Amino acid sequence: MHESQIIKYYAEEISKKLKEPEWALRLRLKAAELYEKVPSPPWMPKDFDLEAFASKAASEEFVKPGEGEIPEWYRKILERIGVPEIEQSMLAGVTVMVNENIVFEAQKKDLERRGVILKSMDEAVREHEDIVKSFLHKVQTPDTHKLAALHVALRRGGTFVYVPKGVKVPFPAQAFFVITKEQLAQTEHTLIIADEKSSLHFIEGCIVPIPAPYSMHLGGSEFYALKGARLRVSSLQNWMGNVIHTPVKGALVEEGARLEELGVSMGGTIIGMRPRIRLVGEKARVSFNNVAMLKKEMKSWSGGSVTMEAPRTYANVVNRTVMLDNSFDEFLGEIYVKRGAKEVKGYQACNTLMLSDVAVNITIPKLISEVSDAELAHEGTVGKIGEEQVFYLRQMGFDEHEATQLLTIGFIDPLVEDLPSDYVRAIREIVKMTLGAS
């Protein structure tokens, strides 16, 4: 059986179980057909077992959101990652997804009064077809590479958020994803639409360490900031164990809108994350920051692509990586200015802090312009902690280990300091733990 036929079989199984409309199934089948035609990304495991992955993605037991009681063992996990406290706070809403099933949802009445829709992606495909059909897989497309096609074909679970025109949500909405099963294939999809002149901060993932057996997380995300909207998205992950984390992401920003995206990667064994962002309206803006802490044998392919398609657009892409042990990172950043996009400004930076003599870092910047007046720049730095900095902190009473911790935290803090304070504290503590207890 050909690979495309294998994928089609399991895609039809998932679609049937989810009781999807015909148009959603067609998206899956189209992606299955593309799988054999598109290239493999460099982070795709060489020993990838397609049928095993597809069968796992399709065979998980399906449950309805909120159905039944949360098992006691999982309540302990929820308490560990702080969901009960979050639910009681002023946060907009929380969705927790274990493996492939949403087992816990909390939604504030305040959101409902504002007309904001926050629910599982599977429900949204059935219940909000008028909105979802116009956006699903329009910027996260299956023609990018094999894993992107596979995600579209086997999509299951995830979160849907729609913020109506003019609605400004003053507190974050959140979604957590937890893997607890061996050799799981997690393919959840996040679709966020900030309609005209609306605003939202969405936090997805989990920064508190969650032990996980061997698994592959092939999630997907699509973010839309429509005319005049402001959308902030913070994607956090800190898997413990042999987890392959390869989310496929895309975003679109319209006229006068702003997208601020932050990715924080602290765990797993393989990370492949290069979002594709389009600025399609005049004065559209994007700020994409990525923070990673790589240790042991971790391998990461970071960066992303920003396409500037309209006049007076602005792009700022910053990547900061801390490297320990035998880790590897390849940053590939591209800013592409299309013809007709006058008076644009684009900047990208890749800054690496090397705390190892054997780690490997590769930086590949691409600045491409079809117009003559584009202002594009790239900055790249690779370095170690300076002896003068350590000496200064030693004079202040810190030992050498404490000085290294403080300087490492100072290296990544500028990109994460706008997160809620609980997350900033957690990230700082993870840095300390990674560098070893003082």
Instruction: For residue 275, report the phi and psi dihedrals to the nearest 5 degrees.
Output: -65, 155
- Residue ranges in the chain whose pLDDT is less than 70: 1, 60-108, 177-184, 206-214, 390-393, 437-438
**Cα dihedral across residues 97, 241, 14, 148: positive or negative:** positive
Whole-model pTM?
A: 0.89
How high is the pLDDT of residue 437?
Answer: 39
How high is the pLDDT of residue 191?
Answer: 96
How high is the pLDDT of residue 68?
Answer: 44
